[in-house]
């Protein structure tokens, strides 16, 4: 058989080029420019993701996860990070995608990123290069989508991320102090992805590839001129393939009537479950916003696959000149062990975004990722964190979750932990030990918040002692939030005596292991239900315990949270109970000052609060601290 040498060399050259392109494809950032596309041999992208954050290729950043998930399925993906929104020019830099533009405001709602709890512009942005503020517009999802419409007309647009997720229905917007309509309408997008979007974006991309419609995809919201039938077909990722349809009060109704607002909220809240959730329809003018039930939770091996995708685990090199991205530094050497939280804290959006069902990675996957960290030249032996929304809920499970989902009529953790919820403390300890065996790992710390009420019973001693011995770097983060029980009930947090029990056990165990370690406390000021008198009682409790809070969160009413609904309506949306709300700016400042009583700068505000409450006789209690 005759072989032409020139043909052979040509084939070899072509093979080598393919290998180089494939190597670049597997070991590089997703394209940010036309030049990046050429290096991969691409002249057209399937999907372009637009983000309000800088591009960090790490699983803590949503666009990186969605981009890598699509990439694994064979789609060509590019990213436009923090574009200049004042014109459509930046949105055209990668051309028009074959399938769709995907838009996210970033890891946070853009209004939370841009403004403080007192509605003042923030001076820094942790998700921008160099921490420089002002790199994203207000209501970034809407602005980006409308710029893309200007540039490309009828190209399909998919919106997602926390901003879109929590604004998917008519919602109260604190910054405008009004009820706004669904962000899907204002953005003029084709479909909204809520929650963690891996399964949704794959199905969207596959359907658009086959030129099929986007109706019925779990975890999505669409606009329709017609209300869906009583039963609607939905994506049959598992089962069931159909769900009932429930119509909630319209945008016009909830805008005018706070009782209708809470009626709608309650239905939305109670249907945030993949097993029992209904299709929800809300009329906006002559159209309907239609939400399909959430996707089923990912199995452990599926979650492993997501977090073990070929992330660069770095900021894009173009940010080096700015000193990188501050938000990346806190997660650079951290491991995400699970997602989802059954806590249902009233002020938290997690149950409406990630869901109540805990989804945990396998220990083997976490060990593999830890080994990869040790291969990095900049790794110095310390893994800063291993955790998720709540660190000690790794491997938590309920026998009902797999087939029935989370219970509608009771909470998993309050007033006490449900007997059906099993904690994964033994698995956690074994996982920590396996990671510590890896050559090069000197320390494995837990920096994520810890649910202290799950560390009170005697059968949790082994776990608490283990993490105090090996995985706490002098301080443990806990969130009592308040000290007055009726306020804690409104927050759906454990009562204060349970915090006191834990604090005593923490002190006892650290005495046993001869370590000098402390609790870092998180409190919320001005939460609905907390009067000025309640906050004074909190302040006196902290003085008695010699606790000097530094971590204070001024309450901010976020869309699609129970606390946000209480702030707007003055009533608890699930019970109808009337709830006092502090809205005046000066009163909110007094709440914070009472909690941070030790700061001399707060003296005038504390004295003003005492005068309003006719408790001037307590001035001496505070004076002692100001004189120190």
Mean pLDDT rounded to a whole number for the chain: 92
Which token pair is 420? Answer: 């059906």
Q: How far apart are CA 449 and CA 103, in angstroms?
A: 29
**How far from 336 is each of 214, 333, 339, 367, 442, CA to CA, in Å?**
31, 10, 8, 12, 19
The per-residue pLDDT for 624 is 77
Q: How far apart are CA 332 and CA 315, in angstroms?
A: 10
Residues 446, 385: contact at Cβ < 8 Å? yes
- Domains in the chain, CATH or no CATH each: 5-291 (3.40.50.280), 333-473 (3.30.750.210), 474-628 (3.30.750.200)
Q: How far apart are CA 603 and CA 597, in angstroms?
A: 8
Q: Tell me: the pLDDT tens digits for 355-394?
A: 899 999 999 999 999 999 999 999 999 999 999 889 999 9
Q: How far apart are CA 428 and CA 410, in angstroms?
A: 26
Q: How far apart are CA 335 and CA 379, in angstroms?
A: 14
Q: Tell me: the pLDDT tens digits for 146-203?
A: 999 999 999 999 999 999 999 999 999 999 999 999 999 999 999 999 999 999 999 9
Residues 427, 337: contact at Cβ < 8 Å? no
**How far from 570 is each of 485, 489, 560, 573, 577, CA to CA, in Å?**
19, 16, 15, 9, 9
Average pLDDT on 475-504 reads 95
Residue 599 reports pLDDT greater than 90:
no
Residue spans of alpha helices (H) in 392-495: 425-436, 461-470, 485-491
In sequence order, the 6+-apart residues with CB closer than 8 A to the CB of 52 are 82, 104, 105, 106, 110, 113, 127, 135, 136, 137, 140, 144
Q: How far apart are CA 420 and CA 30, in angstroms?
A: 43
Average pLDDT on 481-492 reads 96
Average pLDDT on 63-77 reads 97
Q: How far apart are CA 193 and CA 336, in angstroms?
A: 22
The per-residue pLDDT for 628 is 55
Q: Tell me: the pLDDT tens digits for 291-345?
A: 999 999 999 999 999 999 999 999 999 999 999 999 999 999 999 999 999 999 9
Residue 249 reports pLDDT greater than 90:
yes
């Amino acid at each position: 058989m005759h072989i032409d040498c020139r043909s052979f060399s040509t084939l070899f050259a072509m093979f080598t080029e393919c290998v180089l392109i494939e190597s670049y494809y597997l070991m590089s950032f997703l394209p940010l420019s036309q030049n990046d596309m050429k290096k991969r041999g691409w002249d057209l992208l399937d999907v372009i993701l637009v983000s309000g954050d800088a591009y960090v290729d790490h699983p803590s950043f949503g666009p990186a996860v969605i981009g890598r998930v699509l990439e694994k399925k064979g789609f060509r993906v590019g990213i436009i990070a923090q574009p200049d929104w004042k014109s459509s020019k930046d949105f055209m830099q990668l051309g028009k995608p074959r399938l769709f533009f995907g838009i996210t405001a970033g890891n946070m709602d853009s209004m939370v990123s841009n403004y403080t709890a007192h509605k003042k512009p923030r001076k820094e942005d942790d998700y921008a290069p160099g921490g420089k503020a002002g790199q994203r517009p207000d209501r970034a999802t809407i602005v980006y989508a409308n710029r893309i419409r200007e540039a490309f007309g009828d190209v399909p647009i998919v919106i997602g991320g926390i901003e879109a997720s929590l604004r998917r229905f008519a919602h109260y917007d604190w910054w405008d102090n009004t009820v706004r309509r669904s962000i899907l309408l204002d953005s003029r997008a084709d479909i909204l992805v809520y929650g963690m979007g891996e399964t949704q974006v794959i199905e969207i991309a596959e359907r658009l590839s086959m030129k099929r419609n986007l109706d019925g995809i779990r975890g999505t919201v669409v606009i329709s001129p017609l209300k869906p039938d009583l039963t609607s077909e939905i994506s049959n990722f598992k089962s069931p393939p159909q769900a009932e349809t429930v119509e909630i009060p319209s945008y016009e109704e909830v805008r005018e009537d706070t009782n209708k607002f809470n009626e709608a909220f309650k239905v939305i809240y109670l249907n945030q479950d993949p097993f029992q959730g209904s299709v929800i329809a809300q009329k906006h003018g002559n159209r309907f916003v239609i939400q399909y039930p959430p996707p089923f939770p990912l199995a452990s091996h599926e979650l492993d696959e997501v977090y073990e995708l070929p992330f660069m685990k770095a900021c894009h090199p173009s940010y080096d000149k700015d000193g990188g991205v501050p938000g990346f530094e806190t997660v650079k050497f951290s491991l995400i062990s699970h997602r989802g939280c059954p806590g249902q804290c009233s002020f938290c959006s997690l149950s409406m975004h990630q869901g109540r069902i805990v989804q945990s990675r396998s220990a083997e996957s976490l060990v593999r990722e830890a080994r990869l960290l040790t291969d990095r030249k900049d790794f110095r032996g310390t893994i800063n964190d291993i955790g998720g929304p709540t660190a000690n809920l790794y491997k938590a499970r309920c026998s009902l979750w797999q087939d029935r989902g989370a219970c509608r009529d009771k909470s998993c953790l309050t007033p006490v932990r449900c007997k059906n919820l099993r904690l994964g403390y033994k698995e956690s300890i074994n996982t920590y030990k396996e990671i510590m065996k890896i050559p090069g790992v000197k320390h494995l710390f837990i920096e994520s918040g810890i649910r202290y009420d799950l560390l009170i019973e005697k059968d949790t001693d082994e776990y608490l002692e283990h993490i105090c011995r090996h995985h706490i770097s002098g301080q443990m983060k806990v969130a009592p939030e308040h000290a007055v029980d009726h306020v804690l009930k409104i927050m759906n947090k454990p009562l204060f005596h349970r915090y006191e029990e834990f604090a005593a056990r923490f002190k006892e165990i650290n005495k046993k292991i001869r370590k000098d370690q402390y609790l870092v406390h998180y409190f919320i000021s001005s939460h609905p239900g907390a009067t000025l008198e309640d906050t004074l009682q909190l302040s006196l409790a902290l003085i008695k315990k010699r606790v000097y809070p530094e971590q204070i969160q001024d309450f901010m009413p976020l869309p699609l949270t129970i606390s946000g609904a209480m702030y707007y309506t003055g009533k608890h949306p699930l019970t109808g109970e009337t709830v006092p709300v502090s809205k005046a700016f000066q009163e909110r400042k007094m709440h914070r000052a009472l909690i941070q009583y030790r700061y001399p700068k707060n003296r005038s505000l504390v004295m003003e609060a005492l005068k309003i409450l006719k408790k001037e006789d307590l001035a001496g209690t505070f004076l002692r601290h100001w004189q120190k």
